Structure 1
Amino acid sequence: MNVAQSSSVSPDEPLFTRLPEPSQAPVTVVTPMMALPPSLTPKQLLTHLSADAWEEFIYEWVMGLKEAGYVDVVSMGGSNDRGADVAAFLTAQKTDGVWDCFQCKHYERALSPAVTFPEILKIHSAVAEQQYKVLPRRYVFVAPKIGASLVQLLAKPSALRSQFFAWAEKNKDRIVVEYQGGMLERALGLARVSDFSRFEAGNLDTILEQHATTPYHVRRFGTQLPDRPASEPTPPEPAPNEARYVQQLLDVYHEKWGCSPASPAEAKVHPRAGRNLQNQREAFYRAEQLRMFARDSVPPGTFESLQTAVYKGVVEVEEDDFTSGWARLKAVLAAAREMQLGNNVLVQVVDSDDRKGICHQLANEDRLTWVQGADR
């Protein structure tokens, strides 16, 4: 991570561990003691992260690089990271195949060449000692601040190579203590035939722009969720994944109006059941759309947490005695519309149809039942 570690480690150790017009009215001036402090931008917040949190942020970013074609991304940081904090694999062979390496550095000062040279040596040593089978396709230094001298050097791979070997020669007496038993010679031998254009520095503005498209951005920076896409039309006929909650509704209509419990078509033509069925299906699809929105916009488990909150808020209503399944359905949906949903980030975009639809998702899993004792 932030302090260069010895590469003299056993290859048997495990590798992986989103101006008013002027007024004539009196103006109230807020004193500095009363004024709220200005909020920090995501870029400013990143400078205050710990080294571990910075690595987590980079892991989140790399996880979101869908266009890169990664089959897996792992965090490998630690005292024996062998020159790789976050590794992204392009094949199932992982570090035995094509892979990219992201080395995380979080310092108050801008990252300089002097900090990167030991890392370049470390990754060559790891491959020379077969701790990794091949060098990464890309080796990306990621830091909140990248010094101009390093940016310029990375833009000239031949100069980077030359300065790296000059550093190694100047510090040979010190680094040979870390790389004993011929390890230094083997690492430098590999470096002499290595393509130094693989080394680059991540651009923080680009990283933040790409991170904003991941499900982790809102939670990490407290930003607003993106706008939800417009609702798509509800399919005219129920799909197989609607079977159970639709059947529960048919049981309600059978009990209340005598509609066939086995025929959605009969319920559709009933003047009241048909309208209700359409409304409930639209709500179900609205909630399904929220589920998909959550998958792409917030961390895993956020939507499921919202479902659980709705369930806990309505289950005691569902358990009450009612004269009919219709009365129970109406009471539960009303409770869902009125309940407080806590501090789940999705509350920003949830509407009343989402709440109703979540109830039908729960009914689809038999966690809620409208006609008690119905066996269909």
Structure 2
Amino acid sequence: MSTSQRSSQLPGEPLFAELPKPSQTPVTVVSPMMALPPAVTPKQRLVHYSADDWEEFIYEWVMSLKEAGYVDVVGMGGSNDRGADIAAFLTPAKTDGRWHCYQCKHYDKPLVPSSAYPEILKIHSAVAEQQYRVLPERYVFVAPKLGGSLVQLLAKPSALKAGFLEWATKSSARLAQEYPGGLLERALHRARASTFSCFEAGNLDIILEQHASTPHHVRRFGTPLPDRPARETTPAQHAPEEARYVQQLLHVYGEKWGCSTVSPEEAAAHPKAGRNLQNQREAFYRAEQLRLFARDSVPDGTFESLQEAVFSGVVEVEEDDFPTGWARLKAVLAAARDMQLGTNVLLQVVDPDDRKGICHQLANVDRLTWVQGAEQ
């Protein structure tokens, strides 16, 4: 303490002021919220795929390329794939006609020219042996990581061709053993006559963007479903494919209000039955819209699994004793509205009318019945 500080202290004054006593109220210390780890992107997830998973992913993508005009897509991978993991055919002649080839490579390190050259030799040797009548119009290397040197070569066919032929010349002794009986010479003869313009690199960003439009994307990457289309107006005219569930509803209205059990028009004109019939038809068409949305957005069987979950949850209600079909209909629809439906991915977009509509889909195939013993 300085002299001036000492001189300002009054006699008998404590050196330090007495601290206030701590409050007797307990203090809860709250730890700062821990930051969530960043979500793993689809591109990051693909890096950890096995070779088989990668090839399956690429197959799904190629199958989605409707604008390419493919008449068929075939997985040809394996130990003797002859340079083509996935073949996409532009004509019924398949590899005897115009076709595209997708070569899948999944390594820990980026794909480099020395890994691509053996595949280029394979495809030329397969044509030399008439395994394929012609080279594919497009030969796409698809890998989660492509080395910069290979990307640059694929962007300049003349340089790719020169690099390939230089590699083949340096490796000729070994390659002659792998391609005996003059096959190496025939393959290289075809390679020298080729422009190498068919070889290209797949762009992973574009592949993922296009794959996102397939029903497989949500299953693979756990991404949110796309938005459902806006609700469509229910057709005024009854379609043949809704005849059975409507007939079941007519039995309900006939029992409750004495409406005709054969004339939807009479039921529609009834002040109460007509309003209910319209509501049920709107729900049915909403569920039909969900079915079509599922067809294009999630894997096969996802919507059917949801239907089965609804059926399992309401069938025991439907089997109970009720005084009227109206009471049974109301009880089943309420059960469908309130029930837990597990973890089906479609639950992201399901609304109450979908649940009601699924019940009518089930009634449409007589898996649910509202008026027990009614004439079918």
Shared fold (TM-score, shorter chain, > 0.5): yes
Q: Is the contact made by 2:306 and 2:341 (CA closer than 8 Å) also made in structure 1?
A: yes
CA distance in 1, matches of 2:74, 2:360: 37
List alignment gaps of at least 5 residues for structure 1: 1-25
Equivalent residue, structure 1, for 2:328: 328
CA distance in 1, matches of 2:238, 2:82: 54
Equivalent residue, structure 2, for 1:244: 244
- Encode CA deviations 1:212-255: one digit per residue, 9 max, x unaligned: 11111111111111111111100111111111111111111111
Residue aligned with 1:37, SS: coil
CA distance in 2, matches of 1:129, 1:374: 71
- The answer to whether the aligner puts 1:29 opposite 2:44 as a matched pair is no
Equivalent residue, structure 1, for 2:136: 136
Instruction: In structure 2, give the amino acid aligned to 1:234.
Output: T
CA distance in 2, matches of 1:247, 1:240: 11
Which structure is larger by alpha-carbon Rg, 1 or 2? 2
- Runs of 4+ residues deviating >3 angstroms: none
CA distance in 1, matches of 2:279, 2:46: 46
- The answer to whether the aligner puts 1:205 opposite 2:208 as a matched pair is no
Aligned length: 348
Equivalent residue, structure 1, for 2:313: 313
- Encode CA deviations 1:257-313: one digit per residue, 9 max, x unaligned: 111111110000001110000000000010011011111111111111111111111
CA distance in 2, matches of 1:151, 1:319: 65
Q: In the TM superposition, what are the counterparts of 1:262-301 in structure 2 within 5 Å?
A: 262-301=262-301
CA distance in 1, matches of 2:204, 2:313: 43
Equivalent residue, structure 2, for 1:170: 170
Instruction: In structure 2, give the amino acid aligned to 1:220.
Output: R
C-alpha displacement at 1:108, in angstroms? 1.7
List alignment gaps of at least 5 residues for structure 2: 1-28
Higher relative contact order (CA 8 A, sep 6+): 1
Equivalent residue, structure 1, for 2:353: 353
| More displaced stretch, 329-338 vs 314-323 | 314-323
Instruction: In structure 1, give the amino acid aligned to 2:117.
Output: F
C-alpha displacement at 1:28, in angstroms? 4.0
Equivalent residue, structure 2, for 1:23: none
- The answer to whether the aligner puts 1:188 opposite 2:191 as a matched pair is no
Q: TM-score, normalised by structure 1?
A: 0.90
CA distance in 1, matches of 2:30, 2:130: 71
Q: In the TM superposition, what are the counterparts of 1:69-80 in structure 2 within 5 Å?
A: 69-80=69-80
Question: Once superposed, what is the RMSD of the aligned Cα atoms?
Answer: 1.4
Instruction: In structure 1, give the amino acid aligned to 2:322.
Output: F
Q: Is the contact made by 2:87 and 2:99 (CA closer than 8 Å) also made in structure 1?
A: yes
Q: Is the contact made by 2:158 and 2:195 (CA closer than 8 Å) also made in structure 1?
A: no
CA distance in 2, matches of 1:279, 1:48: 49
- Encode CA deviations 1:319-344: one digit per residue, 9 max, x unaligned: 22222211111111111111111111
Instruction: In structure 2, give the amino acid aligned to 1:174.
Output: R
CA distance in 1, matches of 2:374, 2:176: 78
- The answer to whether the aligner puts 1:258 opposite 2:273 as a matched pair is no
Instruction: In structure 1, give the amino acid aligned to 2:61.
Output: W
